[in-house]
Amino acid sequence: MRTLEQRLAKVDTVLTRLGLPSSQNRGEGFTPHREPTALKSKLSDVLITDQRIHSADYSIPFLSGQGQKWIQLAGEEAAQSSSLGSSGHSQIDPSNFTTLPDKVVVQQCFQQYKTSRWAEMFPVFREDSFSATVDKAYGQPVCTASQACVHALCIASPMFHWHSQERPPAIHSADTAIVHLLMPHLLVGRPSLELVQTLVLLTVRTFTLGSFEGIDMYLCLAARALSVLGAHLQPPSDSAEQEKHIYRDLFWIVHVLDVDHAIRSGRPPVISDAWCDLTLPPGRWPSYDNRRVRYPLDLHLNLIKSQAYTKLYSLESLEKSDAELLKDIRLLDKALEDWRMSLPSDIRPALTYREDCSAPGPLEEGLVFLCLEYHRCVSSIHQAVTRVARSVGHEDAVSSSLNIAIDATRSTLLYFRDQHRYLTRALFWLWSSYPITALLMLFTEAMSNTGSSGCSDDSQCSRDLAMAQDVVDALREVGNAATDHSPRLQKLTRFLEEILSIARVLGAEAYAAAAKREYEMLGQEPVL
């Protein structure tokens, strides 16, 4: 009994410190539900987790920092919540099968990163945080995540000094193997900043090498780790300034890569926008600095891409009526045009790129990507109109959207043909999707219009075929230099050449059919 009284006295002391009513000052007439709002507020203070779940009433109650303090004071031992969710495997010493690169080499790799444009496009590191990562990687006790991050930086370092005329340097196979060996030990513990940085570097490297099979897993792991760390939400106001920026930078990098990969592959995106705070970074032009693009892509354009993919190509979108689909196309087109007009005039993509257009050079590579991305986005938005039936009342809207989609496709091919020399050869598999997608779109349009008056415009067909041949030749030339005549590239170019051959046959047949109809109307035999 004496022990129980001592425990109750200790609980009263803790409640008093936390500002909650103790058993001594409640009074005999105390009713627990007399002040539900105040009690609910106090419970929320104790139960809300640092994961920033907004209401204790409609979520699983996690212990906040204040709740952990209450347990520590009441039980006279620290609340070790992190150990409860850890299997302990993350503490395995990987020194038996890993060898860290020389510390000087790591510092050189980081300096290359800092002085390259990759630091702007992919702001993965901050100098202070990386210094701490290096200290933990080479210190004691062993930090597996920090060691993996150091190896990942070495893997990615050849990218930091790629130039337009250089081939991709060979990747250190030992570092790649070590990161893969470390990965199982990283995934059983609580995610860390170093784990996310490692996954992002591996994702970017996989993107640039065109090894798209592994991107799904890297993106899934990185996105889930970021959500556990709370990076999908705005950081608390009392967070350190460096911490605020680095987690949100990593979130935006993963979001951009996720949307882009989903569109390329036709798979669902990993990140659900409905669960994320998509407030853009502060500043009028958060993505630009002296005509250089920050992040892999303009963040506002990235959000429009994400909305377009979800609203026009998701499983749910297939259930929409024609009117709903046309409305979404119209709204997305307006949002895209508002974004385009909001850009400074010197970096604003042209509404349509013509053969007689001249762009000031030399162009910054990020701006070339921006224009290619804009035209592809226009095409993908309006291409969705092919699902709309050409019924009465919709014919004009359908025809207009189809014309816009084809016009954007031609703009993509023309712009690529004229400006591809500003694109880094080592990133061939990254930017080659723009002309390839446009070529397939143009081919699909030719197939759908076979035998109609749309294909009987011999002059336009001839211009399209000539332009397409120039693009395929450019892809072959740059691809051979960048990939050392890889078998994969040879298959790709053979496929594109076959498409061009079929398109030429279709064009010739359409022209012959149109000529025959014209002569039949005149009562004459066509001369072909």
457-468 residues labelled b (16+ CB within 10 A) or e (exposed) = beeebeebbebb
CB atoms under 10 Å from CB of 117, counted, come to: 15
**What is the SS3 assignment for 292?**
strand
Q: Does residue 118 contact residue 159 with C-beta atoms inside 8 Å? A: yes
Q: Does residue 410 contact residue 404 with C-beta atoms inside 8 Å? A: no
pTM to 2 decimal places: 0.79
Q: Does residue 439 contact residue 497 with C-beta atoms inside 8 Å? A: no
**CA–CA separation, 161 and 496 (whole Å):** 31
168-177 residues labelled b (16+ CB within 10 A) or e (exposed) = beebeeebbe
Q: Does residue 171 contact residue 155 with C-beta atoms inside 8 Å? A: yes
**CA–CA separation, 108 and 112 (whole Å):** 6
pLDDT in tens, 162-215: 654 555 445 555 667 777 778 887 888 789 999 999 999 999 988 888 777 789
Residue spans of the chain under pLDDT 70: 1-98, 162-175, 237-242, 283-293, 357-362, 391-392, 449-458, 485, 510-511, 514-515, 522-528
Comparing C-alpha atoms, which of 154, 142, 162, 158 is closest to residue 107?
154
- Region at 55 (left for phi over 0; alpha for psi -120 to 50; beta for the rest): beta
pLDDT in tens, 206-244: 888 877 778 998 999 999 999 999 999 988 766 666 677
**If you search the block for the tokens 């909001």, which residue do you land on?**
342
- Tokens representing residue 346 in the block: 């010197």
**Helix 173-186 with 144-156: angle, nearest 10 deg:** 150
| Alpha helix stretches (DSSP H) within 157-269 | 173-186, 193-209, 215-228, 241-265
Structure confidence at residue 31 (pLDDT): 43
